[in-house]
């Protein structure tokens, strides 16, 4: 963990992760689908709250990974989150086949529904406007 935090650039962090666990990171996306815009807003709010404390964090990408069943994976996710990424499991998110933006999987959609999140009435594997 401390070793990972000391790596000089984001690229070094990714090189370290890909060397150690080449199958952990599946894919990435620049944002969530506009159908789930509150997730983009939450992301912006998190970055803004850091900015208010004087910590400038650049918005990076959403990274979909195979899961979090290793301590190392949790450490990687923490380091990446700290520098502006969102790290989610492929069990919870997938990419729109048309535009490549991130959307919840049907199982995660159903969890969101139970929690009364602001989500579309029906689950789709792509954005409603794609």
Cβ proximity to Zn ion, 112 vs 124, nearer residue: 124
- Only segment of 22-30, 57-65, 91-99, 112-120 that touches Zn ion (CB under 5 A): 91-99
Q: CA-to-CA distance for 75 and 81, rounded, in angstroms?
A: 10
Q: Residues in contact with Zn ion, total (CB under 5 A)?
A: 5
Least distance (Å) from Zn ion to the CB of residue 44? 20
Which of 84/100 has CB closer to Zn ion?
A: 100
Residue 99 in contact with Zn ion, rule: CB under 5 A: yes
> Which member of 78, 98, 107, 111 binds Zn ion (CB under 5 A)?
98
List interacting residues with Zn ion (CB under 5 A).
96, 98-99, 127, 130
């Amino acid at each position: 963990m401390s070793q990972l935090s000391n790596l000089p650039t984001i690229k070094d962090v990714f090189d370290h992760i890909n060397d150690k666990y080449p199958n952990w990171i599946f894919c990435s996306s620049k944002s969530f689908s506009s159908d789930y815009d509150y997730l983009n807003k939450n992301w912006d709010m998190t970055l803004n709250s850091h900015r208010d404390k004087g910590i400038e964090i650049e918005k990076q990408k959403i990274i979909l990974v195979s899961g979090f069943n290793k301590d190392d994976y949790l450490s990687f996710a923490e380091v990446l989150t700290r520098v502006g990424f969102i790290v989610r499991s492929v069990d919870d998110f997938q990419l729109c086949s048309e535009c490549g933006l991130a959307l919840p999987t049907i199982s995660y959609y159903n969890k969101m529904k139970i929690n009364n999140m602001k989500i579309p009435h029906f689950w789709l594997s792509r954005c409603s406007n794609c």
